[in-house]
Amino acid sequence: NAGVTQTPKFRVLKTGQSMTLLCAQDMNHEYMYWYRQDPGMGLRLIHYSVGEGTTAKGEVPDGYNVSRLKKQNFLLGLESAAPSQTSVYFCASSYGLAGVSEQYFGPGTRLTVT
Amino acid sequence: AQSVAQPEDQVNVAEGNPLTVKCTYSVSGNPYLFWYVQYPNRGLQFLLKYITGDNLVKGSYGFEAEFNKSQTSFHLKKPSALVSDSALYFCAVRDANFGNEKLTFGTGTRLTIIP
C-alpha cells in the first residue's frame, strides 16, 4: 500500500515551458486535491476533484489545468510556466469531503521556474 | 468566509516540558477543525480533528487539542514534548455551514524541541 505518490520529485523549468505532475493513490479515495505550499503562506488549494471525470477550481487555479480520467490518478498541468509558479506542490486524497475526512498527502514536488 | 490564524511562527520547548501550539479561527457557522504535521521533506500527516462532540480531542503521537467556541480557538497540546515532535504544524478550518469542500490552512508553526 503505497498511499499517495507524486511524480516527479523535483523539476526545473524555463519560463514558458509546460509540464504535467502526476498524482496516484491506491486507497480507492473519491476525492483528490492539488495544493501549493509557499513560505509563510501555508497551503493553498489549486484544483480538486470529487470523483472520476470531475474537476473544480480551488483558491488559486489560474495558470493550471487538471484532469481525473481515472479514479486513482489526478494530473496537474502547467501550460506555460511562470516564475510565480515556483513552489512545492502537494497532492492529497480523502475518502470523504476535505472538511470532514482526513486527507492523505503525497511527498511533494519541488518545482523551480527560471 | 473562513480563516485561521497561527499567531506564532516559531515555538521552542525543552524536552519533557508541556507544549502548546496556538490556533484561532473565524467562520460564519460551525467549524470543522484539523491539525496536520509536516516533517522535513515530507507531505502533511493528519494528527486530529474536531467535528462535533467533546471539546477535548485526542489524536496521534500523544497530541490533543481543545476546542473553545467562546475564544474561537483550537490549540494543540502535548503533556511532555519529545525531540521527535520537532516539525511544522498546520491548523485548518472549514465552515460547516457552507457547501464547499475547501479547507483553509494556517501559515504553520515551526515547533522545535530542545534536548
CB atoms within 10 A of CB A95: 14
State yes or no: pLDDT of A39 exceeds 90: no
State yes or no: pLDDT of A46 exceeds 70: yes
Residue among B45, B49, B108 whose CB faces A42 most closely = B108
- Chain B residues whose beta carbon lies within 8 Å of the beta carbon of residue A106: 43
What is the pLDDT at residue B80?
97
What is the pLDDT at residue B100?
62
Closest-CA distance of chain B to residue A18, Å? 24
The mean of the pLDDT values for chain B is 93
Least confident of A90-104, B2-16, B70-84: A90-104
Q: Residue A109: phi, psi to the nearest 5?
A: -125, 125
Contact B26, B2 (CB under 8 A): yes
Mutation choice for A interface testing from B6, B44, B90 by most A CBs within 10 A: B44
Q: Residue holding cell 498524482?
A: A23
Mutation choice for B interface testing from A23, A43, A90 by most B CBs within 10 A: A43
